[in-house]
Amino acid sequence: MPHVYIAHRQSASAELARLIRDYLVKQHYTVFLDVEGNNLRLREDIILDEIVSCHCFVLVLDRNTFEDASIVSQVAHALRYKTDQIVVVARDGLDADRIAHTIISEISPILSYNWLPYNHTYAETNLARILSAVQAAAGYATSSQPVVEIPTQHQEQPEADPAPTLVRPPRFPPPPPPQAAAPDLSVADCMRQKPLTVAAETSIGIALAYMEIQRITYLIVNNHHNALEGWVSKADLVSYLPSPLYADSGMTTAQYTQRFQKRSAESVRDHMHHRGNDLEWLAPEMALKNALDRYFLKTFNRGARRFRIRQFPVLDNTFVAVGVLGYWMIINQFIAMDCLPDVTVGSIMLPSDDRDNFIEVRPDVTLGNAEELARINGWSHIVISDEQSNLVGMTTIEKIRRILDPDMPMLSNLPVLTEMRPHQRCRALHENDPLTDVIALFANDDIGALPVVERGGLRLRGLLTYVEVLRALRKLLGT
C-alpha cells in the first residue's frame, strides 16, 4: 500500500494539506502529516524517519512556506533521499519567482520541480491531478481518468482541461544559474575579536552598567572553565526591572526603589539564553554565506520570530568564545569592500499594503494592546500612523516591555505614544533611495528598522529592516 508523507506550513497550508490527506486516504493510501491534530509538530527524529520510509513526499506550498525552519529541514531531507519521489503542490498563482528569495541554497533544487497548481474552484480536477502525480512518483499505475468537477448552473462552462502530462523530475535537478562574483568571506573576516564576557553570578545591575559603559547590548556569559554558558541581552534585563513610570500606577517612590534594588541584585543566570537550548553559535572558519543561512534558518524565519537576536557568539572547538558576529559587522565589511548590490530601497522593503509584514497601529492604542498584537504576530517593530496612513512614529516590542510590569497593571492602559520615537526623530527613507546610500545607517547596533515614506510627505510606503538588508547581501553571496 503506498505511503505518502505530506509537509506543510502549520497555519496557511493546513486546510489544503488535510484536504489532500483525506482524498488520498479514500484512494486507500496511508498518509503521514508532519503536524498532528493538536497542531503540534512531531519530534524531528520521527519526521525524518517517516520521510525516508515514504513512497512519495508531497510538499504543500504557500507564499511563506520556506520561512518555517522545520519545513526547510524536511525538504532538505527529502531532496537527499527522495529526489525522484517528490510532488510539489502550490496554491493557484504561486510560482517559483515569488518565493525564490525565501529559499536557502540547501533546498534551491526544489525550484526546478514541476509544481501542480491548486485552485479550489476546480478542487476535484486538481485533486485527481495530484493523485496521478503521487502515483507516478510512487511507481504505481495511474488512475484511468481524473475526476472532473461539474460547474453549477450559475457558472460559465470552462474550457476542457486536458489530462496533465506528468513529467517526473530528473534524478539530479539542474543546478541554479550561476550567480555574480561575490567576495569569499568567512565569519572570522567580519567578527569582532575578544568579546566581553561576564560570569553567570554577575548581578543584573552590574551587567547593565557594564553594557552601558561599553556601549554594547549583548554579553557572553561564561562558566568557571571559561566556556560559553549562555548569552544575555540588554533588552532581557531591562524588561525585568520595574518600570520608572511607577507614579502612573499608584506605586510610591519607596516601593519602587525597594523593588528595583531587589531585582537588580539578582544574577543574570535566570535571564540568559542557555547554550544548547535557544542559543546558536558560529565557528570562525565557517563561510559567511553559511552563517547568513544560519541566521535565516534559525532566527529570522516567521515560525521563530519570538526569539530574535542581532549577534551570534563565535566559538572554537572547546566552546570558548573567540569573537562575536553582529549584523552591522557584516554590513560594515561589505561597505569597506565596496561590493554592495545595485538595488533600491523599494525593491527590498516590506510594503505597507501587506498586513503580514509589520504591525501598524493608531496613536490611541494602549501599550498593552500594542504589545499583545506584536507578540501574537511575532513582529518586533511597531509603526504608529494616523487615519491617512501618515507616519507618526515608531517603537519596538522590547521598549514597550521595559514599561509594562505585571505588578503595575495600570501601565498597560497608557497610550503607545508614551514609548514612541516621533517621526521628527526617525530617519525616513524613500523608495528610490539606492541601498548603497542608506545601508550604513544599519551599521548602528541601535537601529533595526527604518520607515519608508513618500518623497515630500509622510505617507507610509513600507518598512526596511536589517533582515531585508541581510537578505540582499545574502543574494550577493550566492546563497
The model's pLDDT over 222-232, given as tens digits with 9 standing for 90+, comes to 887 778 888 88
What confidence score (pLDDT) does residue 147 get?
A: 40
In this predicted structure, the answer to whether residue 300 has a pLDDT above a threshold of 70 is no
Highest mean pLDDT among 51-60, 346-355, 374-383: 51-60
What confidence score (pLDDT) does residue 303 get?
A: 38
Model confidence at 173, in pLDDT bands (50, 70, 90)?
Answer: very low
Mean pLDDT confidence for 364-368: 88
In this predicted structure, the answer to whether residue 286 has a pLDDT above a threshold of 60 is yes
Domain with 304 in it: what CATH number? Answer: 3.10.580.10
What confidence score (pLDDT) does residue 305 get?
A: 40
Q: Compare 410 and 286 and report the one with higher pLDDT.
A: 286
> pTM, whole model, 2 decimals?
0.55
What confidence score (pLDDT) does residue 251 get?
A: 67
Model confidence at 57, in pLDDT bands (50, 70, 90)?
Answer: very high
Regarding whether 191 and 327 lie in a shared domain, the answer is yes
Q: Compare 463 and 358 and report the one with higher pLDDT.
A: 463
Model confidence at 83, in pLDDT bands (50, 70, 90)?
Answer: confident
Regarding whether 377 and 285 lie in a shared domain, the answer is no
Domain with 128 in it: what CATH number? Answer: 3.40.50.10140
Regarding whether 333 and 274 lie in a shared domain, the answer is yes
What confidence score (pLDDT) does residue 179 get?
A: 45
Determine, yes or no, domain membership for 457. Answer: yes
Q: Which domain holds residue 78?
A: 3-138
What confidence score (pLDDT) does residue 144 get?
A: 42
Regarding whether 403 and 374 lie in a shared domain, the answer is yes
Regarding whether 301 and 242 lie in a shared domain, the answer is yes
Determine, yes or no, domain membership for 168. Answer: no
The last residue of one of the domains, among 138, 173, 199, is 138
Determine, yes or no, domain membership for 106. Answer: yes
Give me Rg for the CA atoms of the chain: 25
Give residue-wise pLDDT tens across range 112-166.
888 888 888 788 888 888 888 888 888 765 444 444 343 444 445 455 444 444 4
In this predicted structure, the answer to whether residue 169 has a pLDDT above a threshold of 70 is no
Regarding whether 351 and 324 lie in a shared domain, the answer is no
Residue 84 · residue 169 · CB < 8 Å: yes
Regarding whether 313 and 358 lie in a shared domain, the answer is no
Number of domains in the chain: 3
- Cα separation, 450 vs 433, in Å, equals 13
In this predicted structure, the answer to whether residue 249 has a pLDDT above a threshold of 50 is yes
Spell out a b/e string for 391-429, using b for 16 or more CB atoms within 10 Å of the CB, else e: bbbbbbbbbbbbbbbeebeebbebebeebbeebeebebb
The last residue of one of the domains, among 121, 138, 155, is 138
Regarding whether 134 and 221 lie in a shared domain, the answer is no
Determine, yes or no, domain membership for 463. Answer: yes
Mean pLDDT confidence for 183-194: 83
Kindly state the percentage of the chain with pLDDT values over 90: 1
Determine, yes or no, domain membership for 105. Answer: yes
Sign of the Cα pseudo-torsion (148, 149, 152, 157, in order): negative
Model confidence at 42, in pLDDT bands (50, 70, 90)?
Answer: low
Counting beta carbons within 10 angstroms of the beta carbon of residue 43, is it exposed (0 to 12), middle (13 to 18) or buried (19 or more)? exposed
Determine, yes or no, domain membership for 165. Answer: no
Regarding whether 333 and 351 lie in a shared domain, the answer is no
Regarding whether 375 and 464 lie in a shared domain, the answer is yes
Kindly state the percentage of the chain with pLDDT values over 70: 76
What rounded mean pLDDT belongs to the chain? 76
The last residue of one of the domains, among 98, 120, 138, is 138
Model confidence at 58, in pLDDT bands (50, 70, 90)?
Answer: very high
What confidence score (pLDDT) does residue 307 get?
A: 41
Mean pLDDT confidence for 415-439: 84
Regarding whether 320 and 200 lie in a shared domain, the answer is yes
What confidence score (pLDDT) does residue 143 get?
A: 46
Q: Which of 137, 141, 130 is nearest to 86 (CA)?
A: 137
In this predicted structure, the answer to whether residue 438 has a pLDDT above a threshold of 60 is yes
Instruction: Report residue 88: phi and psi, to 5°.
Output: -110, 125
Mean pLDDT confidence for 408-436: 83
Mean pLDDT confidence for 394-416: 79
What confidence score (pLDDT) does residue 153 get?
A: 45
Q: Compare 288 and 251 and report the one with higher pLDDT.
A: 288
Determine, yes or no, domain membership for 84. Answer: yes
Determine, yes or no, domain membership for 144. Answer: no
Regarding whether 323 and 198 lie in a shared domain, the answer is yes
Model confidence at 183, in pLDDT bands (50, 70, 90)?
Answer: low
